[in-house]
Amino acid sequence: MSDIWIDIVSFIVTFTVLLLIKDFATRISIQIMSDYKLEKRKKRIHVVSQSTYEETGDLGLSHSGPSLGASGVLHFIAVKNKDLIDEMQELLLKAGIRHRDALEEFMKSKVTSAIAIFFLVFITLTTNDFDISMLISFFISLLCAVLGGHRLTNLNLQMLANRRKEAIEHGVPDLIDLLVICTESGLDLNRAIRRIARELRTSNPLLADELSLTSIELEMIPDHRQVFENLENRTDCLEIKTISKTLSQSIEYGSSLSTSLRDLAVESRQRRMLEAEARAAQAPTLLTLPMMFFIMPCLFIVMLGPVIVGMIKSFGN
């Protein structure tokens, strides 16, 4: 009998403990699963959580190695020229390069390009008969290396940023239409952006990555205006800025989001039509030089060639 009473008391105590810790265990499990899903989404779009050097003093350079360490030459240059670091970080952000060692690799590419240009210019000046002394050749090569290594890498990154901007702009009309559909169907803004990012993954992966990152920031950053400003800085697209301003104002003032987006969709389509008409109107002007140098000479040869040949034969006889 005593064993039966012990089993009954143990069952009652266990059941009571389960009832007491049920809510706490549920909250912990939900928090763990939310953190796991958030980290998984961050890894999928290659996002690295790190603070800027204004907050932590870290310039994004590794502290290992003699050249890039805390006492290295490049780190010293970065500390003394924070405007240059801001410019490089902005270029990297617009080009979509956001991994941890992006700034360090960019500075390495500048140094490598400068060294290559220096030796190329120096060898060219010294091996040819330019009547230039060795010292002047050295200084000319050094100047070309400094300017070329800095400007060429920036130009290359700017070209990548422009191509990325054009690719994102092509998907903006679809983004607006999908936002209208999602908001009218009852989804909130965060869930709508997440769903649109999933739908645009195949047609426009760059825009889908930016929307996924925006969805993550909406969950982590309480100020929605800061989130939309980050989206504007990353894309550097006028239509994205218009969308972000519209969303921010709709959230702040409580206006109808679907109505604002529908008006914005009409304006976007009209703007695209006007741009297409402007490009079509420029076509005759752009075709003038190709016609003069490539088409008209062929026509003259076909039309006047037999006449010229006949005149040559007549005067020859």
According to the model, what pLDDT value does residue 30 have? 57
Q: What is the dihedral of CA 232, 233, 236, 240, to 10 degrees?
A: -10
- d(CA 166, CA 159) in angstroms, rounded, equals 11
Q: pLDDT band for position 67 (50/70/90)?
A: very low
Q: Are 49 and 218 in contact (CB under 8 A)?
A: no
According to the model, what pLDDT value does residue 5 have? 61
Write out the two tokens for 310.
Answer: 């006949």
According to the model, what pLDDT value does residue 49 have? 39
Model pLDDT for residues 108-138, shown as the tens digit of each residue: 888 888 888 888 888 888 887 777 788 888 8
Question: How are the residues of the chain apportioned to helix, strand and coil, as percentages rounded to the nearest 5?
Answer: 80, 0, 20
Q: Residue 210 contacts by C-beta under 8 Å, 6 or more apart in sequence?
A: 168, 231, 234, 235
Model pLDDT for residues 217-264, shown as the tens digit of each residue: 888 888 888 888 888 888 888 888 888 888 888 777 777 777 778 888
Residue with tokens 């980050």: 230
Q: In b/e form, how buried is each residue of 171-202, taking b as 16+ CB within 10 angstroms?
A: bbeebbbbbbbbbeeebebbebbbbbbebbee
Q: pLDDT band for position 64 (50/70/90)?
A: very low
- d(CA 4, CA 10) in angstroms, rounded, equals 10
- d(CA 304, CA 302) in angstroms, rounded, equals 6
For range 178-191, the mean pLDDT: 85
The answer to whether residue 79 scores a pLDDT higher than 80 is no
How many Cβ atoms from other residues are within 10 Å of residue 162's Cβ?
13
The DSSP-derived string for 49-102 is: ----HHHH---S--S-STTTSTTSHHHHHHHH-HHHHHHHHHHHHHTT--STTH
For residues 97 and 69, the model is more confident at 97
Q: Are 176 and 261 in contact (CB under 8 A)?
A: yes
Contacts of 42-45 spanning 24+ positions with Cβ under 8 A: 42/216, 44/212, 45/209, 45/212, 45/213, 45/216
Secondary element (H or E) of residue 237: none
Whether the CA torsion 24, 25, 29, 32 is positive or negative: it is positive
CA angle 93, 94, 99 (to 5 degrees): 30
Hey, is 130 helix, strand or coil? coil
Q: pLDDT band for position 270 (50/70/90)?
A: confident
Model pLDDT for residues 35-61, shown as the tens digit of each residue: 666 666 656 554 443 333 344 344 444
Q: Are 79 and 59 in contact (CB under 8 A)?
A: yes
According to the model, what pLDDT value does residue 36 have? 65
Surface-to-core class of residue 101, CB atoms within 10 Å of its CB (0-12 exposed, 13-18 middle, 19+ buried): middle
What average pLDDT does the structure give for the chain? Answer: 76
| Predicted TM-score (pTM) of this structure | 0.62
For range 75-79, the mean pLDDT: 66
According to the model, what pLDDT value does residue 310 have? 84
The answer to whether residue 31 scores a pLDDT higher than 70 is no
Region of 10 please: left (phi>0), alpha (psi -120 to 50) or beta. alpha
According to the model, what pLDDT value does residue 48 have? 41
Length of the chain: 317
Q: Are 212 and 194 in contact (CB under 8 A)?
A: yes
According to the model, what pLDDT value does residue 61 have? 42
